[in-house]
Amino acid sequence: MLNSYSAEDKVLVSVDCIIFGFDNEGLKILLIKRDFEPEKGKWSLMGGFLKKEESLNDAATRVLNHYTGLHNIYMEQFYAYSEIDRDPVERTVSVAYFALINIENHNTELTKDHGAEWFSISNMPKLIFDHDEMVSHGIRRLRYRTSTKPVGFELLPEKFTMRQLLELYEAILDKELDKRNFISKINSLDILIKLNEKDMLSSRKGSYLYMFDKEKYDAKTRNNFVLNL
Amino acid sequence: MLNSYSAEDKVLVSVDCIIFGFDNEGLKILLIKRDFEPEKGKWSLMGGFLKKEESLNDAATRVLNHYTGLHNIYMEQFYAYSEIDRDPVERTVSVAYFALINIENHNTELTKDHGAEWFSISNMPKLIFDHDEMVSHGIRRLRYRTSTKPVGFELLPEKFTMRQLLELYEAILDKELDKRNFISKINSLDILIKLNEKDMLSSRKGSYLYMFDKEKYDAKTRNNFVLNL
DNA sequence: ATACGAAGTGTTTCTCCAACACTAATTAAT
DNA sequence: ATTAATTAGTGTTGGAGAAACACTTCGTAT
């Protein structure tokens, strides 16, 4: 029995993470100023090299935790980038993930230490290597994902208003949605709990707060729901 | 300027290809009997290791050509598998592709030499490592792809009947489709050319043969069509 | 000539999606 | 206390597209 494929080439493997967040200004991505050569000082996705003793998901989880301090982040692998010269230093295959976090929830000290900043997806700096391509693919995948999973669950605070949810979907899909149609579609999914509590900041009348009903949500996603907005 | 990330681990990277084909019995997958240890003699997807001087797409193209003799195969990368012990010999990250080929068109000598055989997707042997998981993900991705691209273009012979096209979609989606509704949806895409030629094998009356109109097809796909069957 | 077998062809119904505008509730200002 | 201002909240209708549905045509074989 063999214990190695000794004749084969080995290469570096990395993960790069697109971290999406949402606030009242819209959909945002967390970027860092790269602190090592090459391209030191340029904006970049959060990344790290795969270690021998971890899976890609482990590596992505580690990178996400390292830059945000968060655990149990929703993330999804979406594509492996492998052009030979994509990293000018050394041949590296990079597997891209996107992650969804609650923007008010992460460790801002930590991100500050890393020189990380949030950028609106409509106003991003040029990124290193092929990271711009990763971002555009990641956004495309996120858009598709809205039709399959209630991604708002991950991006919003625990309690949120219908308006916030609406604006989140508008930001992700980059189009205006009809308020009444949106609400009835969301309600038809039957995954929200309406609280007896109002958010009084946004208006004089105050708007009801909602939470996701985790159990109903899980039951729904097992049955592959489809949501067309 | 650095010229290596010397402290980082390197790992083997491979590609594994799900080769889909279609004949009058249904949707099939081409498998090989693995000819080296471990798991020699067990059924497996077509795979190969990534070389230093090629991209993942290059590697997948090479593997596909090696086993089928074909060039210009439609293929799509869909996921990277990286569990630490997925290959018991040595740590290997494997990037999975699916490919669509015309089943009557490949080099059968070549596949015979490799001990390759076609298996109906509903009646497949147990595969090595995590290849069963790859297949089920690959089928799922192929199903989704039918709504975005006219995959029949790749799987059918140049000239085909409406019945063949219908049965192809039924095989991929694993559900019965209404003949008349199917035909009108396909016609509404406006990507087929009806030939003045009939296939007389399938019936006494004979059925018209069709071809894909490559130009119209390309124009459509650029505009992101959606096809709900 | 007729029996057979698959090809080919339209219509109706129904469901779901999109478009659309006014009232309610509360607070702030006067 | 009245009014003005602001956002929340709420249903209906028309149209398009999907789904359901069956009979006729054509050519061959007997």
Domain limits of chain A?
12-145, 152-222
Mean pLDDT of A76-103: 97
The residue among A119, A156, A158 whose CA lies nearest residue A167 is A156
Contact B52 A4 (CB under 8 A): no
Residue range B12-146, CATH number: 3.90.79.10
**Shortest CA to C1' contact from B205: nucleotide:** D27
- Structure-block tokens of residue A28: 């945002």
* A178 CB-near residues (< 8 Å, 6+ apart): none
Give the residue from B3, B5, B137, B148 with the most A CB atoms within 10 Å of its CB, the best one to mutate. Answer: B5
Does domain B152-222 fall under CATH 3.20.20.10? My reply is no
Which residue is the nearest neighbor of C6, CA to C1'?
A: B203
Mean pLDDT of A196-208: 87
Mean pLDDT of A67-74: 95
Which residue is the nearest neighbor of D10, CA to C1'?
A: A180
At residue A106, the pLDDT reads 85
Q: Using CA atoms, how far apart are residues B132 and B127, in angstroms rounded to an integer?
A: 6
At residue A40, the pLDDT reads 87
- The CB-side HSE value for B63 (13 A sphere, CA atoms) comes to 29
The residue among B19, B209, B10, B3 whose CA lies nearest residue B100 is B19
Per-residue pLDDT of chain B (229 residues; tens, 9 = 90+): 567 888 899 999 999 999 999 998 999 999 999 887 788 889 999 999 999 999 999 999 999 999 999 999 999 999 999 999 999 999 999 999 999 999 988 888 998 888 999 999 999 999 999 999 999 999 999 999 999 888 988 999 999 999 999 999 999 999 999 999 999 999 999 999 999 999 998 888 899 999 999 898 888 777 778 888 8
In sequence order, what DSSP letters do the residues of chain B get, joined into one string? --S--TTS-EEEEEEEEEEEEEETTEEEEEEEE--SSSSTTSEE-EEEEPPTTS-HHHHHHHHHHHHH--SS-EEEEEEEE--TTSSSSS-EEEEEEEEE--TTTS-HHHHHHTTEEEEETTSPPPBSTTHHHHHHHHHHHHHHHHTTS-THHHHS-SSEEHHHHHHHHHHHHTS---HHHHHHHHHHHT-EEEEEEEE-SS-SS-EEEEEE-HHHHHHHHHT------
For residues B78 and B137, is the Cβ–Cβ distance under 8 A? yes
At residue A2, the pLDDT reads 65
Distances in whole angstroms, Cα of residue B208 to Cα of each of A151, B86, B160, B162, B186 = 47, 49, 8, 8, 15
Q: Does residue A88 have a cis bond before it (omega within 30 degrees)?
A: no
By Cβ distance, the residue of B2, B55, B77 closest to A84 is B55
At residue B40, the pLDDT reads 87
The residue among B79, B66, B56, B73 whose CA lies nearest residue B20 is B73
Q: Provide the pLDDT confidence category of residue A1 given band limits of 50, 70 and 90.
A: low
At residue A24, the pLDDT reads 86
Q: Is the CB of A147 under 7 A from strand C?
A: no
Q: Using CA atoms, how far apart are residues A46 and A20, in angstroms rounded to an integer?
A: 12
Distance of C1' in D15 from CA in A180, Å: 18
At residue A37, the pLDDT reads 77
Q: Is the CB of A10 under 7 A from strand C?
A: no
Q: Is the CB of B188 under 7 A from strand C?
A: no
Distance of C1' in C26 from CA in A203, Å: 9
How do A160-161 and A92-100 pair as beta strands? unpaired
Contact B3 A52 (CB under 8 A): no
Task: Give the percent of chain A with pLDDT over 90.
Answer: 72
> Hey, what amino acid is at A24?
N
Q: What's the CATH architecture for A12-145? A: Alpha-Beta Complex (3.90)
Average pLDDT, chain A: 93
Contact B11 A50 (CB under 8 A): yes
Is A153 or B97 the better-scoring residue by pLDDT? B97
At residue B75, the pLDDT reads 98
- Structure-block tokens of residue B176: 């019965």
Which run of H or of E encompasses A126?
A: none
Q: Where are the alpha helices (DSSP H) in chain A?
A: 56-68, 108-113, 131-145, 152-155, 162-173, 179-189, 214-222
Give the residue from B93, B95, B97, B148 with the most A CB atoms within 10 Å of its CB, the best one to mutate. Answer: B93
Instruction: Return the bridge partners of B116, or none.
Output: B32
Mean pLDDT of A111-128: 94
Contact B11 A9 (CB under 8 A): no
How do A46-49 and A10-23 pair as beta strands? antiparallel
Mean pLDDT of A82-108: 94
Kindly state the greatest CA–CA separation across chain B.
74
